[in-house]
Amino acid sequence: FPVENIRNFSIIAHVDHGKSTLADRLLELTGTIDKTKNNKQVLDKLQVERERGITVKAQTASLFHNYEGKQYLLNLIDTPGHVDFSYEVSRSLAACQGVLLVVDANEGIQAQTVANFFLAFEAQLSVIPVINKIDLKNADPERVENQIEKVFDIPSDECIKISAKLGTNVESVLQAVIERIPPPKVHRKNPLRALVFDSTFDHYRGVVANVALFDGVVSKGDKIVSAHTQKTYEVNEVGVLNPNEQPTHKLYAGQVGYLIAGMKDVTEAQIGDTLHLHKQPVEPLPGFKSAKPMVFAGIYPVDQSEYNNLKSAIEKLTLNDSSVTIHRDSSLALGAGWRLGFLGLLHMEVFNQRLEQEYNASVILTTPTVPYKAVLSSSKLIKEYREKEITIINPAQFPDKSKVTEYLEPVVLGTIITPDEYTGKIMMLCQARRAVQKNMMFIDQNRVMLKYLFPLNEIVVDFYDSLKSLSSGYASFDYEDAGYQTAELVKMDILLNGNTVEELVTVVHKDKAHSIGKAMCERLKDCLPRQLFEIAIQASIGSKIIARETVKAYRKNVLAKCVSLGIFTSIQNKAFIILEKTVKSGSARKIIEMSALRIIWCGC
């Protein structure tokens, strides 16, 4: 296929603005999939994607299209829209020369539209604005055109107005892809240089690496080398994604496709790696920033006898998702488990849901926490950790103030777009979350874009829900990593009848310790079953008790025979009992202590 007839492009947008629907229409128009079938989000293959209606894993499809007497090969890379998966967006963009920036004609520019636009802009890609859903009653494409001109400096006459649902004007999107996006700059005569931009794991064939060829050719039987690991492999299969895998004899520079070469897990086909031919080394392509976990949580089998099954499920799932980090961990009450790092809370929920749905595993997740840092002053600790600045991903290991010079917390630069009427309330919410305002701009007559620097721990659990509820669902939010800042942090213990519950240890800002401690004690009081004796619930910082609640004892010995053990877990402020068993009360006091240890989190 001549290079000048190839276009590599991505569709980027805020969540639900219609990327996947547009992708379906493009696949139909080019005859890649049958029009008669009821095609809905064909590229969303995972069960969670279909259930939640979101794209988690970027998918690729090659389309053929005839235009003005020439045949074109259009490689379309569908990308996720949610903030947690922006890492998938940026790596997809590295394989493209242009993007379709889809904006909903009713909702207009939203926070992720802005974030995704800047990813494309920084990668110097051609941006084609597409205003979608013009069929909606409240659609106002002219207003959206003006927003696009104001915020992105793209002339409004460059916008294409479509309805992906009805197929209106989708043809002109294909035309713009051909006319406005340049063909890839590649050299087929040079030795092979291929970028791995995604990889998946297949139980039978091993790793399937999605590659974009920048130079040369690759065929079945070639010996290739990973520039990252220097390991050599023999290519067993190459092909294009149509959108299902379709083997071909060769892949040429300019093409996007897949390659199978006996790699055993995705760490052997690292995203951003360059592949070259054996004995023909090349300058590696610039990789991408590696995925940085923002949220950590402990994960344990509900029953320790399930440990090995859960281990194998986690290993299999991470074969497909190299952005999850894994450390082994153990807890007094929950036994052996792991501490996993995720890109965000949605990523964590999706991972958990996939464990349950695809591997039938039931797990206990502990409170999500962010990676804090401490600069150590104690020479003993420095020796133990072998470094002065440590990252703490488990609050139970938070070092005491007497042993550190300073604590640091991760911060993010957040973008909020909202109808003006909610601005006041949103500003108050941000202030309550210790955020510092950086910018404020009207993107049209009644919509405002706010930029705030947030401590990550203030937004990780329920910020998004609060923002949505106080703006009746209209405000949108996205954030990017902004490094670390000094913070006055303290470790807060929760004690039950005087014993610390390791699983409930949290790191909080000094100014918030009282309110959080009080709220946690109150929640625990509501959750703990009453017993034959009194239970004291306390929150403490060091030896100082900052809050206390009491669960009163039953007066009469009516239920003496049974004690209920409950395991609680929570995501986004909801406490669920996920395991409850009734045991004979031999020694009631001992059992309640055990029971207390089994209460993981009651959410604050």
Site for ligand GTP (CB under 6 A): which residue of 6, 8, 18, 115? 18
Restricted to residues 165-204, the positions that interact with ligand GTP (CB under 6 A) are 165
78 is known to lie in a ligand binding site:
yes
Restricted to residues 337-396, the positions that interact with ligand GTP (CB under 6 A) are none
CB of 467 to ligand GTP, least distance (A): 18
CA atoms within 13 A on the CB side of 524: 30
Restricted to residues 241-280, the positions that interact with ligand GTP (CB under 6 A) are none
Contact, 339 vs 394, CB < 8 A?
yes
Return the amino acid letter for 338.
W
Site for ligand GTP (CB under 6 A): which residue of 41, 59, 210, 564? 41
497 is known to lie in a ligand binding site:
no
Restricted to residues 47-76, the positions that interact with ligand GTP (CB under 6 A) are 53-55
Residue 331 interacts with ligand GTP (CB under 6 A): yes or no = no
CB of 164 to ligand GTP, least distance (A): 4
Q: Per residue in 213-246, is it b (16+ CB within 10 Å) or e — as a string?
A: bbbbbbebebebbbbbeeeebebeebbbbbbebe
Q: Residue 228 phi/psi, 5° resolution?
A: -80, -50
Residue 540 interacts with ligand GTP (CB under 6 A): yes or no = no
**Helix H or strand E encompassing 589:** helix 588-597
Contact, 541 vs 435, CB < 8 A?
no
Residue 135 interacts with ligand GTP (CB under 6 A): yes or no = yes
Joined tokens for residue 508: 């909080």
CA torsion 501-502-503-508 (nearest 10°) is 100
Nearer to ligand GTP, 136 or 381 (CB): 136
133 is known to lie in a ligand binding site:
yes
135 is known to lie in a ligand binding site:
yes
CB of 9 to ligand GTP, least distance (A): 15
Q: Residue 56 phi/psi, 5° resolution?
A: -105, -45
Residue 491 interacts with ligand GTP (CB under 6 A): yes or no = no
18 is known to lie in a ligand binding site:
yes
Residue 420 interacts with ligand GTP (CB under 6 A): yes or no = no
What DSSP string runs through 159-170?
Answer: -EE-BTTTTBTH
Nearer to ligand GTP, 16 or 502 (CB): 16
Mark residues 282-321: x for contact with ligand GTP by CB under 6 A, - for none.
Answer: ----------------------------------------
81 is known to lie in a ligand binding site:
yes
CB of 132 to ligand GTP, least distance (A): 5
Site for ligand GTP (CB under 6 A): which residue of 3, 29, 136, 375? 136
CB of 373 to ligand GTP, least distance (A): 33
14 is known to lie in a ligand binding site:
yes
CB of 187 to ligand GTP, least distance (A): 35
Smallest Cα–Cα separation from 229: which of 182, 191, 197, 276? 276
CB of 58 to ligand GTP, least distance (A): 10
Q: How far apart are CA 142 and CA 155, in angstroms?
A: 12
Q: How far apart are CA 580 and CA 568, in angstroms?
A: 9
Joined tokens for residue 66: 């005839």
Q: Per residue in 268-302, is it b (16+ CB within 10 Å) or e — as a string?
A: bbbbbbbbbbeeeebebbebbeebebbbbbbbbbb
Q: Is 169 left (phi over 0), alpha (psi -120 to 50) or beta?
A: left
Site for ligand GTP (CB under 6 A): which residue of 32, 60, 147, 163? 163
Restricted to residues 73-112, the positions that interact with ligand GTP (CB under 6 A) are 80-81
The label of the residue with tokens 């990550």 reads 456
Contact, 96 vs 8, CB < 8 A?
yes
CB of 38 to ligand GTP, least distance (A): 12
Q: Which residue of the chain is nearest ligand GTP when measured via CB?
A: 81
Contact residues: ligand GTP, CB under 6 A: 13, 15-21, 41, 53-55, 80-81, 132-133, 135-136, 163-165
User: Binding site for GTP, residues?
Assistant: 13-20, 78-82, 132-135
User: Binding site, residues?
Assistant: 13-20, 78-82, 132-135
